[in-house]
Amino acid sequence: MLEIRNVSRRFGDFQALNEVSLQVQAGEFFTLLGPSGCGKTTLLRSIAGFDTPDSGDILLDGKSLIALPPEKRPVHTVFQSYALFPHMTVADNIAFPLRLSGVGKTEIERRVHEVLDDVRLPDKARHYPEELSGGQRQRIAIARALVNRPRLLLLDEPLSALDAKLREQMQIELINLQKEVGITFVYVTHDQGEALALSHRIAVMNKGEVSQIDEPSQLYSSPKNRFVADFIGQCNLIEGKVVSSGTATTRIAIEGLGELSVQSNPAIDFTPGDDCALTLRPEKIRLAKNVAPTSDEVHFPGTVHDMLYLGDVTVYIIEVNRDGTPVLIEALLANSAPGRARLLDTGDAVEICWPHDAGHLVR
């Protein structure tokens, strides 16, 4: 439906986009995720028409958008600052695109009320933007961008100005709204949690390139590279060298931990001697004073180096030191049972273990 084909863009010495290609399906909630400067906003602006790529093409339903100015593209944007017209009422703001495209008066009224119902603000039509709260302004901005039924809705970090509670509520509303209207959403954010919660698929971007495009759960469990592993969620990145590689398991040597077996990554062809990194989610690690490892688990003794009490969970940084090279590994304990919060203390001797297939090997 939307196709980005080898799009590159350079600002002076800065390569904002480098040969980016991706496809978004009709009706999809697609997210461009990455740190600031990764090119996600440049890509969004290119789709909207505010920026023109140096090379490559952007196609919507098979037709190139490149030559069209923003006002001629069947694409609307929800801006980060909302960009509501302060001199117009909510109803006039929403009617703005309809009036421009010459929709009749009664039809405008009907559609304004319809979309205000959609965003659950039916009684705010006569208000001015300055009289609304941040969350309400956000919904009006979405209503205004949706009312003309664009083929594609672009959202540029639309929730970044809201506080955490409201953001979560708006996330749920966004998911429901997108389902309801059935319009393709392309969403830009630097917040990985937001991306995981909202999207059907996510393109993780780094330094102007797409690192990985996948469903949220795939992205989380099988990151393709260190960047994705590190960017999505908390992750232990343990550097090592490949000793031998097989189809099912690969043996790697890690300084400080020794040799251990991990599940092979079918996507990467390792040869012995290659540098690699084991990505290991903290919640996959079992942690206790005495763990009784099963035969398919690896197991290390260590001490509690640091701890962070976060309310629902406590994060422990465990130092494993077998041969003089200390390795720090992050593990979690849920504070679900009473007394769990202070189960371990800094300096305590503990044991950690994880199944062979818990880690994910990347280059």
Partner 1 sequence: MSRFQEKGARFLLTLPPAAYLLLFFLLPGLMMLLASFRFPGDYGGLAPWYYLEEGSLTFDLTLENWARLFESTLYLQLLLKSLLFALLTTAVCALLAYPLALTIAASPKRHRELLILLVILPFWSNFLVRIYAWMIIFSPQGALTEGLNQITALLGLEPVNLMFSSVAVITCLVYVHLPFMVLPLYANLEKHDPALLDAAQDLGASRAQRFWKVTWPLSLPGLYAGAVLVFIPTLGIFAIPDLLGGTNGIMIGNVIKQQFVESRDWPFGSVLSLVLTGITLLLVVIAGRLGRTPGALT
- Nearest distance from residue 107's CB to partner 1, in Å? 16
Would you count residue 160 as binding partner 1 (CB under 8 A)? no
Residue whose CB is less far from partner 1, 65 or 304? 65
Q: What is the DSSP letter of 72?
A: G
Among 31, 46, 77, 211, binds partner 1 (CB under 8 A): 77
Which residue, 262, 288, 260, 285, is CA-closest to 351? 288
* Least spacing, CB of residue 328 vs partner 1, in Å: 44
**To 5 degrees, how large is the angle CA 84–CA 204–CA 136?**
20
d(CA 251, CA 275): 12
Distance CA 172, CA 41 (A): 23
- The residues pairing with 355 across neighbouring beta strands, listed in sequence order, are 297
243 in Cβ contact with 252 (< 8 Å): yes
Q: Least separation, in Å, of the C-beta of 81 and partner 1?
A: 5
Amino acid identity of 132?
A: L
Query: Does the footprint of partner 1 cover residue 249 (CB under 8 A)?
Result: no
How many chain residues interact with partner 1 (CB under 8 A)? 29
Minimum distance between the CB of residue 30 and partner 1, rounded to whole angstroms? 19
What backbone phi and psi angles, to 5 degrees, belong to 234? -85, 145
Rounded to 10 degrees, the C-alpha dihedral 127/130/132/137 comes to 100
Give me the least distance between CB of 176 and partner 1, in Å please: 24
Residue closer to partner 1 by CB (options 92, 239) is: 92
For residue 211, give the nearest of 4, 57, 32 by alpha carbon: 32
Minimum distance of partner 1 from residue 52's CB (angstroms) = 14
Minimum CB distance to partner 1, residue 206 (Å): 26
Cβ proximity to partner 1, 100 vs 308, nearer residue: 100
Taking CB under 8 A as the criterion, which residues in 188-247 touch partner 1? Answer: none
Rounded Cα distance between 104 and 12, Å, is 47
- Longest C-alpha distance within the chain, in Å? 79
Contact between 145 and partner 1 by CB under 8 A: the answer reads: yes
Is residue 67 a contact point for partner 1 (CB under 8 A)?
no
How many angstroms separate the CA atoms of 201 and 187, rounded?
10
CB of 79 to partner 1, least distance (A): 5
β-sheet bridge partners, residue 352: 287, 300
Nearest Cα residue to 121 out of 98, 91, 145, 96:
91
Q: Is 71 near partner 1 (CB under 8 A)?
A: yes
Regarding 68 and contact with partner 1 (CB under 8 A), the answer is no
Yes or no: say if 199 and 31 are a contact pair by the CB < 8 Å rule: yes
Site for partner 1 in 83-122 (CB under 8 A): 83-88, 96-97, 100-101
Residue 128 sits in the site that holds partner 1 (CB under 8 A):
yes
Considering the complex, what minimum distance in angstroms separates the CB of residue 87 from partner 1? 5
Q: Which is nearer to partner 1, 116 or 213 (CB)?
A: 116
Stretch that binds partner 1, among 68-76, 178-186, 311-319, 341-349 (CB under 8 A): 68-76
- For 20-65, what is the HEC assignment? EEEEECCCCEEEEECCCCCCHHHHHHHHHCCCCCCEEEEEECCEEC
In this structure, the strands spanning 63-64 and 55-60 are antiparallel
Nearer to partner 1, 130 or 323 (CB): 130
If one asks whether residue 81 binds partner 1 (CB under 8 A), the answer comes out as yes
If binding is defined by CB under 8 A, does position 50 make contact with partner 1? yes
Query: Please, what is the Cα angle at 29 between 28 and 33, to 5 degrees?
Result: 130
Which CB sits closer to partner 1, 88 or 181?
88
| Residues near partner 1 (CB under 8 A) | 48-50, 69-72, 75-77, 79-81, 83-88, 96-97, 100-101, 128-130, 144-145, 148
